[in-house]
Amino acid sequence: MSTVTPLPLAQFVRVAETARASISFVLDGVEVKALAGDTLLTAILTHQRHVRHSEFSTEPRAGFCLIGACQDCWVRNEDGTRLRACSTPLREGMRVLTRTVSDTETYDAGVR
């Protein structure tokens, strides 16, 4: 008989540089913490398994190239400004949206 281990909620697990200062930001309406010097991509993926859903399908995306070339890690500030999560430094108080209305509906329907 095999047991199924549930997936962790986060894609990244921090194993080093844990002594850096903690900073707060808002991720999809929830205040969370990350570490000073993190990129937005790192900060997001230490809290959830993906950065966004593809606009062409319901597939989750978590960045691909990590150098700003693939366009796979776009997120938005609450003011609508698009940000490349892989190359944007996290700043205290950022308010980041990873989900659109259609993403939220898909997520609420149980598709992850």
Three-state secondary structure along 14-58? Answer: CCCCCCCCEEEEEECCEEEEEECCCEHHHHHHCCCCCCEECCCCC
In a domain, 5, yes or no: no
Grade residue 78 by pLDDT with cuts at 50, 70 and 90.
very high
**pLDDT at residue 2 in the model:** 56
Residue 28 belongs to a domain with what CATH number?
A: 3.10.20.740
Digit-coded pLDDT (tens) for 4-41? 555 558 777 787 788 899 999 999 999 999 999 999 99
Grade residue 83 by pLDDT with cuts at 50, 70 and 90.
very high
Q: Report how many domains make up the chain.
A: 1
- Quickly tell me which residue has 């010097």 as its tokens: 37
**pLDDT at residue 112 in the model:** 38
In a domain, 60, yes or no: yes
Look over the chain and give the mean of its residue pLDDT values, rounded to a whole number.
81
Beta bridge partners of 106: none
| Position 108 pLDDT exceeds 80 | no
Residue 66: Cβ within 10 Å count: 15
CA distance 21 to 26: 17
In a domain, 83, yes or no: yes
The parent domain of residue 55 ranges over 22-108
pTM of the shown model? 0.76
